[in-house]
Amino acid sequence: MKCAIILAGGKGTRMKADCPKVMCKVLMKPMIDYVVSAVKSAGCAAICVITGYRHTEVEDHLRNLDPTIETALQEPQLGTGHAVMCARDFIERHRGDDILVLNGDGPLLDEPTINGAYALHKSEGNAITLISALVEDTNGIGHIKRSADGKLQCIVEHKDATEEEKKINESNAGCYWFMGDKLLYALDRITNQNAQNEYYLTDSLSILLGAGNGANAYVVENSDVVLGANDRAQLHILNEILRHKIMHQWMVDGVDIPCTDGVMIADTVQIGTGTTILPGTILLGNTTIGKDCLIGPNTYIMDGTVGNGVTLDNVKLTDSTVEDGADYIFSKTDKDESHYEYTDVKATVNDENVAVIDNGDGTYTVKNVTGDLTVTGKRTAKQYPITVDGNAKGCIRVADTVPYGTDYDFTAEELETDKYDYTLTMTINGKPYTPEFDDSYVSFMNTYFYTIKGDAITGNIHITFTQTEKGGAETT
């Protein structure tokens, strides 16, 4: 039987995230979800995940993902070898099985790679078969040393490597197939005699070789499949690789994506042939799109079901179904849409006017959509009130309300700057805000000029304007 141990205890300090590293997302889904899916697809019938930093968050997530997944807690975290030691009970129960050990932050690792390594592992009867890749950047990798005849010798962590060893470009991918009993044998002999005083799982290779066991490495053709991420920049790279991989496969399968800008399609989405996906379209969750649809631009669908021949343009669907001829519920989804009000919303289907029902909650319904849907409407920026207090409030000249999105200028006039110092404080939605200030007109107009930037006008504005006698107390 195939089993798997997934290492998921790391904090991921360089991610600068509040969540555990494996919960950082690629295409809006935690990295560990991809790893669990890959090992299941490879046929692993039992899975144990090693948790550590904020372990309850990972454990709760896994319980919702698949309640059959076991977990083991690693506290403190003393290296990858120590992490696997924490799963000893799981390994003991599967000592007669083949056990895959891999990292939980490798979302690009796929079933063909896992099973390719497994086929080599079984055909050679190896105690350990690891996955490796040839890389250009050797900084920070685990270097795989081979003898002159190409046989594996050991894995040297970069921090422990000599200058000559650091030139080796065959990188350990952190993914291993073990015979269960041989894994137990190695764990009993791993020590922390290294620069980091940690227990390295990589030492299991030299331990098993030293005991006369067989070992080999499955070298992947595409090094992308073994990539992980240690910071947000590397996470972005994973997003881009997976995003383009998914889109490429859909194009091969008969979906038209004429421009990939801003298109994001989760690996759980299904799309029918003949459908066109336009820029700015995001399809997530358990979404199914029918045949011959036109989706986008600027369309967001989460867990939606769309029938055949449907056009969705600049709309948002969440947990919704759009069938052929069905009622269609939509909402506006532009940036900062909450600061606008819509009136005179109209729609056409196949260039014919149709009724639009205002649902009163920011959404609208068009009934019996059987063709191309186009929605138009008038958008008006919301007006937010201004209140003024303070002992010099009579100097402030403002309107009662100001609109979102347009810079607003106001003045403080009839100032007696030879006698008083003036102070203005402001809050918007209860949060402090500092307007732009121009006092160049005070010498001949006795006036201060202020500007509130339009994108900052997001709620009620409160101004306090006070005057204080020069060298004295606030006047009343």
Per-residue model confidence as pLDDT tens digits over 427-439: 999 999 999 998 8
* 259 confidence band (pLDDT: 50, 70, 90): very high
* 319 confidence band (pLDDT: 50, 70, 90): confident
Measured in degrees and rounded to the nearest 5, phi and psi for residue 210 equal -65, -25
Mean pLDDT of all residues in 330-338: 53
Residues tagged active-site: 339
Measured in degrees and rounded to the nearest 5, phi and psi for residue 245 equal -60, -45
Residues in contact with 56: Cβ distance below 8 Å, sequence separation at least 6, in sequence order = none
Strand pairing class (373-381; 340-349): antiparallel
Two tokens, residue 436: 């732009």
Exposed/middle/buried for 148, CB within 10 Å: 0-12, 13-18, 19+? exposed
Residues in contact with 406: Cβ distance below 8 Å, sequence separation at least 6, in sequence order = 381, 454, 457
Report pLDDT for 315.
83
Mean pLDDT of all residues in 456-470: 94
Mean pLDDT of all residues in 361-372: 65
Two tokens, residue 252: 């091969």
- Chain mean position to CA 213: 42
Beta bridge partners of 308: none
The helix or strand, by DSSP H or E, that contains position 73, with its residue range, turns out to be: strand 70-73
* 476 confidence band (pLDDT: 50, 70, 90): very low
* 2, 97 Cβ separation under 8 angstroms: yes
Two tokens, residue 434: 């500092």
Task: Read off the pLDDT of residues 154-211 as tens digits, 9 standing for 90 and up.
Answer: 889 888 899 999 999 999 999 999 999 999 999 999 999 988 899 999 999 999 999 9
Q: How many CA atoms lie within 13 A of 450 on its CB side?
A: 18
Nearest to 6 by CA among 80, 116, 64: 80
Residue type, 212: G
- For the chain, the straight-line distance linking the first and the last C-alpha, in angstroms and rounded, comes to 85
* 333 confidence band (pLDDT: 50, 70, 90): very low
* 354 confidence band (pLDDT: 50, 70, 90): confident
